[in-house]
Structure 1
């Protein structure tokens, strides 16, 4: 199974189905952002602290990486940023384009993979916004390297990602309120799921996911030339069994030190 093609099709279908993370921001939120009142999320529930951003976003070149869906990009563009949104899903990008046309925003959209940004020049962005998405790729190290390449020295990477502990458990039993340890870490859909389970993912329109180690998520950024300067955790907002026991998501702010 081609993971990239599969996940691209699944996210296109999620747009058609109106799944939460494909729903674009309202016109009201865009107007508020134009007036300086805004926030964005890179995890599920907690907004990114405003002090992780410059006081003024005017002309700040921002790459919203694997961030289609008409959520982060339009808000940052309305707040004054010079925004480019890159995503694997064409229909997710169309959500950003729809909001831009609806609300008179200027932003650029590019369909592409988060691990290969050859279509972007070296050191061309001041900020990268990367919401929880690297769960859909097998190897996160190329992602951090490509992010470092296209980010200017002193630039900021704000990333959300999944706590790998989430992938220890049997999903179906967790939905029933039972935490049953089933898998080892790091989790890989292509290695841990049976052929029948993979076919079920295709039939049910489920993306293939990967639970990366914290070493790859955090030390991977450091090895790529970043210094971690901010950190917080998040959960599903109390809607899942796991929320009673641990936080399923992590967000980091990192500054590029090396050229």
Structure 2
């Protein structure tokens, strides 16, 4: 099946349902960002440290990768960056377009798959911002390779991703407060469903998600030519039982370094 198409439709549905990750920032936040008081997230709760970015974003070319929803892109554009937002979901991108029109921002959008950035030239961006999203692609390593290609030498990748431990527990049981180890890593949503459940899952336009190993997440960046220069962990903000035991999200800052 075409998982990219499935996830595109699923995220369009999430916009219609008003999911947290589809809710655009307010005009007040944009005004503060224009005045230099800005912050973004690439995980769930914690803001990205400001020193992960250059002090002045004016004219800095930023690709917000799989980052639709009117959140990161508009804030960075308001702070002075030259921003392009790409996402698999047309409706997510419409959120960015809405904020840009509402608040007078210069911001470009392009629909596409994060694993294939062929529409973008080599070494054309200073920074790539990639919030938690690579769980929606089957193989994460092509994402790192494509990001490395479009970044300039010494360009910065700021990304969030899931700790694979999140996936080992039975999801239904965990939401009842029971930690029942059930699933292996790597794996996907589809691996956990019976045939009749799978058909219903697809028909109801649910996202297909993939649990990647930390080796693919971190060593994958290194193999693509990155040096990890920053790291933090995050959680659901106390909303799930796992927050009592471990942080289930990771953010890294990485620098592309050409080896001559």
Same topology, TM > 0.5:
yes
Distance, in Å, in 1 between the alignment partners of 2:29 and 2:174 is 34
How do 1:1-259 and structure 2 match up within 5 A? 1-258=1-258
- 1:2 CA displacement: 1.8
SS in structure 2 of the partner of residue 12 of structure 1: helix
- 1:203 CA displacement: 4.6
Retained in 2: the 8 A contact 1:42–1:251? Answer: yes
Q: Deviations over 1:136-180 (max 9, x none)?
A: 010000000000000000000001000000000111111100011
Distance, in Å, in 2 between the alignment partners of 1:3 and 1:183 is 21
Distance, in Å, in 1 between the alignment partners of 2:220 and 2:247 is 21
Distance, in Å, in 2 between the alignment partners of 1:218 and 1:230 is 12
Retained in 2: the 8 A contact 1:164–1:187? Answer: no
Distance, in Å, in 2 between the alignment partners of 1:77 and 1:194 is 45
Retained in 2: the 8 A contact 1:230–1:254? Answer: yes
User: Unaligned regions of 5+ residues in structure 2, if any?
Assistant: none
Tell me the matched-pair count: 259
- 1:204 CA displacement: 4.5
Aligned-pair Cα RMSD in Å: 1.0
Retained in 2: the 8 A contact 1:60–1:82? Answer: yes
TM-score by length of 2: 0.97
Retained in 1: the 8 A contact 2:134–2:161? Answer: yes
User: Unaligned regions of 5+ residues in structure 1, if any?
Assistant: none
